[in-house]
Amino acid sequence: MDSYPAPALALVETMHEAASQEPARAIAFQGAPGANSHRAVNEWDPHALPLPCFSFAAAIEAVKEGRASCAMIPIENSQAGRVADIHFLLPESGLSIVGEHFLPIHHALMALGTQGPFTGAFSHPHALTQSRHYLREKGIVPLSHADTAGAAAHVAELGEPQLAAIAPKLAADLYGLEIVEENVEDAADNTTRFVVLAREALDPAMLAGQETMTTFVFEVKNIPAALYKALGGFATNGVNMTKLESYQKGASFAATMFYADIVGAPGDPAVDRAMEELAFHCKGVRMFGTYPMARQRG
């Protein structure tokens, strides 16, 4: 189980046992019980059996090994940007994106009691960054932890009343902490986008009549204006590209990969023409899946 705090480990073991009985209902997520990813699983499928995993790689492995039907993975946050590592893990996973979910993020300050004063607050670095103005105003030192709910379990395990955690309200219920203050995030519209990963991709033809998203990665040829030419087909064919991010492949700094989301699906003539033009200017294109759009773009 890696290194969950003791209060979380007991819950993890119980949830793993339940998931092992019905893996078809299990959805893997990274973090301790009570994390935002746990909340996302509950919202996505209230009848699912959440399967906590210590790392993103472990959550992906649970799906590949058949211990979970899919994994709920955060891919980007409106305040902190893209989630580290996922762009590298996804191409290597062999899994496909079959859905997306947008989760409003609300952080709460929690501790053994509500009196204070509190000298420090544990949480995931993203949550600390998203609450930095609040922490500065209260004079609370931010203390990094592997994940938000794990931080709450850690505070419960330490038993020191001057220490707090920033985590979802669900974590306070699970680990016997009290809510000191709700909504301590600096931005009221703080939102995380999750993707759902499964072993089998959805057939785009089965999504006919629905608003869809398609995700893929590509590597352009190492020649002048290659990216400009590769993307030109999306403009000329009226295909909306809602996301384009670059990342380095390997240590040579000569191979740049691009991660992209577009509105639409293969089989749509405009999408097919745009993808054909993209492929002409690329060393390779890899599709990650077409899936129902959870929120309108634009």
Question: Does the active-site annotation cover 88?
Answer: no
Q: If 0-12 CB within 10 Å is exposed, 13-18 middle and 19+ buried, where does residue 85 land?
A: exposed
Instruction: List phi, psi (to 5°) of 67.
Output: -80, -10
The residue among 12, 10, 126 whose CA lies nearest residue 59 is 12
Contact 62, 254 (CB under 8 A): no
Question: Does the active-site annotation cover 118?
Answer: no
User: Vertex 198, ends 8 and 247: CA angle to 5°?
Assistant: 85
Which DSSP string corresponds to 163-175? EEEEE-HHHHHHH
Q: Specify the residue for token string 């994390």.
A: 35
Q: Which of 54, 56, 192, 234 is catalytic?
A: 192
User: Vertex 73, ends 202 and 298: CA angle to 5°?
Assistant: 70
Kindly give the interhelix angle for 226-236 and 269-280, rounded to the nearest 10 degrees. 170
If one counts every other C-beta atom within 10 angstroms of the C-beta of residue 16, the result is 17
**Hey, is 3 helix, strand or coil?**
coil
Q: Which of 29, 56, 122, 194 is catalytic?
A: 194
* Residue 242 CA neighbour count, 13 Å, CB half: 14
Active site residues: 192, 194
